[in-house]
């Protein structure tokens, strides 16, 4: 089991490092210089937790539950190039907003960037302190993207404040975005296309009960976003919208041990209101999870989950949804592990998740509440470890109705394109294959590779093949990372309309640690200036240079 945990975490780290189409602003924010070292520390921490977890009766339930949430997240996630370093921070021991403070110190960074001219700027401060039992962390950032081609400058401001006192935790977030969307690459006339986005969020958690065998928490999350924009010229679509979401829920976890089996049970009940543009929905939901071992099958690790929800929607039919799944993993020997799962996934998606999960552009138009996907998934795979080589492969068969998809729409003038999400009201069946591999040459050099295949050919913005290859070299105070990424052919509209050709891109990130408190990063994104399209006549971002200094104090 210990080896399984190590391999799972190592795989996630490999995934995230291998993902080439990360946003460079996130990858060079001062953490990349120490990301590998921190990854190894987190793996060691989780391995220690795994040792504790083998003694189910003695483990502290809160530690176990937090650990368990991370493992469930690893098991249930399907690989997506849209996962950034933030995902690593959230799922490998940093869900507690103060976890990073326990590891290190306060940080300040300053950076400059350039496409054709030196007009990009970013700086930020992360400060944590404790006063008479109150822990607080403030994170302030300012980023100016700079202009790549006509109409592409962007400004971003962020203020986040985390508070913790005794059994109460709170998070408060203010994010502001002021951006212009890039014009067409083959047009001299540019249409004004911009938006101002304000996002406000408050998160509250109160621990009611916390003992060695069970805990109970109540949570409240409030989110508000307002997009004030210049819409597409003479188009029925609009960039102007508001989104309000309120999520109230309680969680309960309990250890349950019998002569025949051992269980960690988790339950969640809540109500979610989600209002987007002219549509809104209210969902009452109940979720349950169980990780268990059966004494007669103690070398197999099982996980099960279920969820039921009742949704009332304004612009589509009311829904009653049910989801359930069972997964199993067996370690055959010191090298080979087999795993598989069966699942029915039929859960509502929040509007902001629908907006944020599209990776090719942030220009998502206003949309109403959509039908919920109904997915049936069969997955099987194996992982193999031999010395310094690790390989995992898996295959999934998926059947889906009302599948969420994205496609481009154009204004009546034909001078602008943007993206709108929709539900595909037919039943689709397809296969997904995945391969992950890492090879460590020595303590200084390692390589990581990811290849994903998707047989889907009806929907837009789903390439058949996506891959990423990364090589990382560490020596003394220096680290260099070279990323290669490939995005296969895809279509901008359903039924194979408006083909977008495949493209490859290379990135280079170099880091130098001057001392324990200061590091510098130099990065080049899209080194060979790939000029392929992600919307019809709209290219990917061109070559970009970034220079950044990070200081701890």
Show contacts of 59-67: CB within 8 Å, 24+ apart.
59/255, 60/212, 61/210, 61/211, 61/212, 61/213, 61/214, 61/215, 61/253, 61/254, 61/255, 62/210, 62/215, 64/255, 64/264, 65/215, 65/253, 65/264, 65/266, 66/95, 66/96
At 151, is the pLDDT very low, low, confident or very high (cuts 50, 70, 90)? low
What are the E-state strand segments in 295-373? 300-313, 319-331, 336-345
pLDDT tens digits, 313-352:
888 889 999 999 999 999 999 999 999 999 999 988 899 9
Q: Which residue has the higher pLDDT, 107 or 362?
A: 107
How far CA 151 is from CA of 29, 182, 183, in Å, comes to 25, 5, 6
Distance of CA 214 to the CA centre of its chain: 29
Q: Give the model's pLDDT for residue 36.
A: 35
- As a CATH number, domain 2-552 is 2.40.170.20
pLDDT tens digits, 449-497:
999 999 999 999 999 999 999 999 999 999 999 999 999 999 999 989 9
Q: Give the model's pLDDT for residue 135.
A: 92
pLDDT over 70 percentage in the chain: 76
Contact 61, 214 (CB under 8 A): yes
**Residue 146 backbone zone (phi > 0: left; psi -120 to 50: alpha; other: beta):** left
d(CA 239, CA 229): 6
pLDDT tens digits, 269-298:
999 999 988 888 999 999 999 999 888 887
The residue ranges of every structural domain in the chain are 2-552
d(CA 127, CA 116): 34
User: Could you tell me the maximum CA-CA distance found in the chain, to the nearest angstrom?
Assistant: 75
- Specify the DSSP class assigned to residue 79: P
d(CA 427, CA 458): 11
Produce one character per residue of 515-537: b if its CB has 16 or more CB atoms within 10 Å, e if not.
eeeebbbebbbbeeebeebbbee
Residue 211 has pLDDT above 50, yes or no: yes
Angle CA(293)–CA(345)–CA(303) in degrees, nearest 5?
5
């Amino acid at each position: 089991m210990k080896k399984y945990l190590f391999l799972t975490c190592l795989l996630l780290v490999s995934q995230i490092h291998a993902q080439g189409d990360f946003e460079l602003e996130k990858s060079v924010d001062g953490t990349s210089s120490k990301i590998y070292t921190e990854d190894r520390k987190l793996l060691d921490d989780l391995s220690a937790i795994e040792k504790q977890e083998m003694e189910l009766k003695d483990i502290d339930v809160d530690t176990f539950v937090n650990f368990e949430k991370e493992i469930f997240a690893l098991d249930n996630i399907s690989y997506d190039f849209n996962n950034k370093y933030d995902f690593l921070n959230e799922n490998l021991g940093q869900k507690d907003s103060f976890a990073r403070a326990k590891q290190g110190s306060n940080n300040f960074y300053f950076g400059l960037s350039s496409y054709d001219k030196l007009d990009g700027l970013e700086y930020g401060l992360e400060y944590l302190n404790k006063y008479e039992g109150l822990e607080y962390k403030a994170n302030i950032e300012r980023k100016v993207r700079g202009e790549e081609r006509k109409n592409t400058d962007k400004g971003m401001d962020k203020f986040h404040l985390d508070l913790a006192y005794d059994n109460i935790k709170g998070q408060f977030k203010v994010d502001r975005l002021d951006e212009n969307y890039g014009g067409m690459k083959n047009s001299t006339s540019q249409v004004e296309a911009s938006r101002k986005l304000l996002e406000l969020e408050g998160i509250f958690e109160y621990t009611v009960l916390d003992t060695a065998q069970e805990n109970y928490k109540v949570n409240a999350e409030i989110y508000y976003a307002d997009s004030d924009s210049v819409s597409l010229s003479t188009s029925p679509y609009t960039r102007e919208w508001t989104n309000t979401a309120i999520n109230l829920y309680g969680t309960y976890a309990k250890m349950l041990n019998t002569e025949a089996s051992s269980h960690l049970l988790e339950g969640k009940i809540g109500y979610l209101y989600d209002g987007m543009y002219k549509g809104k929905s209210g969902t009452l939901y109940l979720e349950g999870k169980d990780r268990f071992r059966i004494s007669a099958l103690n070398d197999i690790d099982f996980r099960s989950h279920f969820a039921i929800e009742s949704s009332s929607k304004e612009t589509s039919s009311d829904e009653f949804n049910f989801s359930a799944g069972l997964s199993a993993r067996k370690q055959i020997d010191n090298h080979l592990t087999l795993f598989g799962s069966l699942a029915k996934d039929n859960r509502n998606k929040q509007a902001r998740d629908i907006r944020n999960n599209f990776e090719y552009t942030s220009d998502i138009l206003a949309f109403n509440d959509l039908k919920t996907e109904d997915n049936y998934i069969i997955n099987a795979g194996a992982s193999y470890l031999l010395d310094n080589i690790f390989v995992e492969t898996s295959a999934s068969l998926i059947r889906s109705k009302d599948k969420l998809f994205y496609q481009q729409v154009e204004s009546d003038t034909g001078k602008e394109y943007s993206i709108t999400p929709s539900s595909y009201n037919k039943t689709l069946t397809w296969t997904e294959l995945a391969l992950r591999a890492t090879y460590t040459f020595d303590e200084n050099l390692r390589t990581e590779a990811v290849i994903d295949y998707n047989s889907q050919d009806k929907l837009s913005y789903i390439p058949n093949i996506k891959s990423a290859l990364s090589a990382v070299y560490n020596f003394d105070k220096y680290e260099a990372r070279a990323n290669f990424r490939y995005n296969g052919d895809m279509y901008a509209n359903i039924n194979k309309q408006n083909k977008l050709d495949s493209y490859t891109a290379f990135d280079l990130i170099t880091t130098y640690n001057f001392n324990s408190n200061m590091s510098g990063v130099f990065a080049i994104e899209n080194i060979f200036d790939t000029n392929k399209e992600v919307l019809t006549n709209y290219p990917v971002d061109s070559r970009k240079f970034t220079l950044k200094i990070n200081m701890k104090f």
